[in-house]
Amino acid sequence: MSENLYNKVWEAHAVRRLANGQTQLLIGTHLIHEVTSPQAFSMLRELGVPVRYPGRTFATVDHIVPTDESEEPYSDKLADEMIKALRVNCDEFGITFFDLKSGKQGIVHIIGPELGITQPATTIACGDSHTSTHGAFGAIAFGIGTTEVRDLLATQTIAMDKHKVRRINVDGELSPGVYAKDVILHIIRVLGVKGGLGYAYEYGGEVFDRFTMDERMTVCNMTIEGGARCGYINPDDTTFRYLKGRPYSPKGPAWEEAVENWRSIASDPGCAYDDVVNIRAEDIAPTVTWGINPGQALFIDENIPDPENCPEEQRASIEEALAHMKLEPGSPIRGTHVDVAFIGSCTNARLSDFKEVAQYLEGRRVADNVKAIAVPGSQGVGVLAEELGIAQVFRDAGFEWRNAGCSMCLAMNPDKLVGDQLCASSSNRNFKGRQGSPTGRTVLMSPLMVAAAAVTGEISDAREVFDLQITAGA
Amino acid sequence: MPLEKVTRVAGKGVYVPGDDIDTDRIIPARYLRCITFEGLGEFLFYDERKHEDGTDKSHPLNDSRHRDAVIFLSGENFGCGSSREHAPQSIYRWGIRAVIAESFGEIFFGNSTKLGMPCLTASAGEINKLAAEIKKNPELQIEIDIISAVVSYGDYTFQAGFPDGVRHSLVEGRWDPLAELLEGAKEVKQVAASLSYFNT
């Protein structure tokens, strides 16, 4: 019988049916960080329950890490305290911790794949909604709460309901200057921020077949912004090439065996889905957000919506978004003044993101009065970017090149917007106050579009700023 | 430890209008800089409730008539965004014991259930009607029968949406799944043994 990947992986990990009808699901790989785990460890201590399979949990610090200081103790005492708490917890319970001095620290969703911990045909959970990133490898990966982190530590399982599966095909060819980020922003715009409630998203089609693993991760990362808790892409040769030789990847005969298993769990031709959506790559142009959720997006050449011309049920939320963003209804988004430019986050802080930008940024300068920061997703990315001269290109252009962490994506460390600053950001959420100032404003876009905004001081079309050939699109 | 059987939530209501209210808004990330959930109640909707100088904004939760509300009403996709359990924890620690909205972010929904705080769905029409009654009479007593998922106030009742599994967990006092998950240890071991990646 032909079956989709989600159902196959689910069946392989389903332990038993619980009294309330939910499934006790085995989670093969558990990732933890400093923000959502300390309470879970405290609960274990209170209950006197050990960590059942400590070898299947991996830890790092990312959210709270200052990116402009490299030595502990940090001037941020709370950051110190949270990092120390994780160190103590990992030590006490025997969990592998990619600590600040390990050379492997970074955003949890960047180091998992980098180290080969993220593998196809697995279940992966983390107390972090962007765990959907790991679905790029053909894993069922999703975010959980802290009580579930406790459950997972204690039993290696959680109580879970099965999702429906929606296949999203993107066929055709993307135009120059249109990136994976634009693809996912477009998908969310089309299906809405709640369109994915109750679904897992399976991404496929020609565009995904051609995408690199980094591009696939960018798309899967933002699945949760479309309301779907997990999103995945079937594993293929691109996946296997990426994983081969990574520290935690299977070695020797186990590698061949693993690849065979990974191939077999991909969705079978002709398998059933609960829903199918088809999107043409040619219809996608560089996309930016104008509002306070990632679905409030438009192509760079479009005008900001005017509530007067919108259906009545949308009017209140559009007005609320425009009031927060201080944008003029009906006017172009391009030309909007930018105060801060941020390239980083689990969405777009991999080596390829910086490499792509660097080739256009060379010889250009960040505009006066724009604060531009580039934050690599991991220490590994940082080291490679230095070796390849990429970090220097950013510095020469006027970017601050920082140490690895989540940084200004959610501003739990000192990297914050001030007042109502507007930030062109390669991150994943433009929620009110997300970047650390309650009145701060976030405009989401691809890394190259952030670079274009940094150079011009306003929201701009990267294709024009960097002289890319525009072949199609809006 | 036996858990409370959540069969009924009754008391005053408070309506915070809006769709897609995300967990960053429910509790801003800077209040996640902590290693316990204690004291999070006071930071609920902090930036929506407070000016930057700490003085109050006009907000339903700042209205003293709603201060002891136990039933929270909102719009579509409530609790979307991050997985932070700090969000339902802050709502619960504020004193809320049930949420009624048009729909919920999935992780938020699960996190709330595991705290013993039911999240029920209702149409925009029912929510607006109840919100209008609360506006007229903030003392309005609302009752949610968790067993039947029927909401009643005054002479009026309506059927809310509530998945059977979640209802079962709350009504039976099994909303914290840990004890049951621990009972499955033997089966877990068998499934784990069948997965080669698990054993490397």
Closest Cβ–Cβ partner in B28, B85, B184 for A24: B184
Q: DSSP per residue over A224-245, as a string?
A: GGGT-SEEEE---HHHHHHHTT
For B147, half-sphere exposure in the C-beta direction (CA atoms, 13 angstrom radius) is 4
Which burial class, exposed, middle or buried, applies to A252 when counting CB atoms under 10 A from its CB (0-12, 13-18, 19+)? exposed
For the CA atoms of A361, A367, A370, A373, the dihedral, rounded to the nearest 10 degrees, stands at 20
CA–CA separation, A191 vs A185, rounded Å? Answer: 10
State how far residue A192 is from chain B, nearest Cα, in angstroms. Answer: 11
CB–CB of A128 and B83 under 8 A?
Answer: yes
Residue range A308-317, pLDDT digits in tens? 999 998 899 9
**CB-CB neighbours of A457 under 10 Å:** 17
Contacting residues for A256 by C-beta, under 8 A, at least 6 apart: none
For A415, half-sphere exposure in the C-beta direction (CA atoms, 13 angstrom radius) is 33
User: Please, what sign has the CA dihedral across residues B193, A265, B178, B81?
Assistant: positive
CA–CA separation, A142 vs B28, rounded Å? Answer: 22
User: Residues B21-30: what's their mean pLDDT?
Assistant: 97
Residue A180 carries which DSSP code? H
State how far residue A445 is from chain B, nearest Cα, in angstroms. Answer: 18
CB–CB of B198 and A56 under 8 A?
Answer: yes
**What confidence score (pLDDT) does residue A471 get?**
56
**What confidence score (pLDDT) does residue A217 get?**
98
Q: At what angle do helices A38-47 and A77-93 cross, to 10 degrees?
A: 40
CB–CB of B180 and A22 under 8 A?
Answer: no
Residue range B132-184, pLDDT digits in tens? 999 999 999 999 999 999 999 999 999 999 999 999 999 999 999 999 999 99
Mean pLDDT of chain B: 96
Beta bridge mates, A340: A371, A423
User: Residues A254-271: what's their mean pLDDT?
Assistant: 97
Candidates A26, A164, A442: best to mutate against B (most CBs of B within 10 A) is A26
Mean pLDDT of chain A: 97
CB–CB of A14 and B85 under 8 A?
Answer: no
Q: A274-283, A462-471, B26-35, B185-194: which range is least confident on average?
A: A462-471
CA–CA separation, B196 vs A327, rounded Å? Answer: 54
Residue A448: which pLDDT band, with cuts at 50, 70 and 90?
Answer: very high
User: Residues A426-431: what's their mean pLDDT?
Assistant: 98
State how far residue B73 is from chain A, nearest Cα, in angstroms. Answer: 17
Say yes or no to pLDDT of A396 above 80.
yes
Residue range A21-32, pLDDT digits in tens? 999 999 999 999
Residue range A109-158, pLDDT digits in tens? 999 999 999 999 999 999 999 999 999 999 999 999 999 999 999 999 99
CB–CB of A147 and B85 under 8 A?
Answer: yes
Q: A253-267, A286-300, A373-387, A457-471: which range is least confident on average?
A: A457-471
Instruction: Find the helix or strand (DSSP H, E) in which A315 lies.
Output: helix A312-325
**What confidence score (pLDDT) does residue A473 get?**
45
Structural contact between residues B113 and B92, judged by C-beta atoms closer than 8 angstroms: no
Of chain B, the percentage scoring pLDDT greater than 70 comes to 100
Residue range A168-222, pLDDT digits in tens? 999 999 999 999 999 999 999 999 999 999 999 999 999 999 999 999 999 999 9
Residue range A154-165, pLDDT digits in tens? 999 999 999 999
Say yes or no to pLDDT of A442 above 70.
yes
**What confidence score (pLDDT) does residue B147 get?**
97
Residue B66 carries which DSSP code? G
User: Please, what sign has the CA dihedral across residues A77, A79, A83, A88?
Assistant: positive
Can you tell me whether residue B98 is helix, strand or coil?
strand
User: Please, what sign has the CA dihedral across residues A432, A435, A436, A440?
Assistant: negative
Beta bridge mates, A200: A165, A230
Say yes or no to pLDDT of A296 above 50.
yes
**CB-CB neighbours of A308 under 10 Å:** 9
CB contact A231 to B (< 8 Å) = no
CA–CA separation, B71 vs B153, rounded Å? Answer: 12
Strands B71-73 and B8-11: unpaired
Chain A: residue whose CA lies nearest to B112:
A145
Residue range A44-74, pLDDT digits in tens? 999 999 999 999 999 999 999 999 998 889 9
Chain A segment 345-374 residues within 8 A of B by beta carbon are none
CB–CB of B35 and A229 under 8 A?
Answer: no
Instruction: Find the helix or strand (DSSP H, E) in which B165 lies.
Output: helix B164-171
Residue A136 carries which DSSP code? G
CB–CB of A145 and B114 under 8 A?
Answer: yes
**What confidence score (pLDDT) does residue B1 get?**
56
Which burial class, exposed, middle or buried, applies to A415 when counting CB atoms under 10 A from its CB (0-12, 13-18, 19+)? buried
**What confidence score (pLDDT) does residue A397 get?**
98
Residue A427: which pLDDT band, with cuts at 50, 70 and 90?
Answer: very high
Q: ipTM above 0.90?
A: yes
**What confidence score (pLDDT) does residue A474 get?**
42
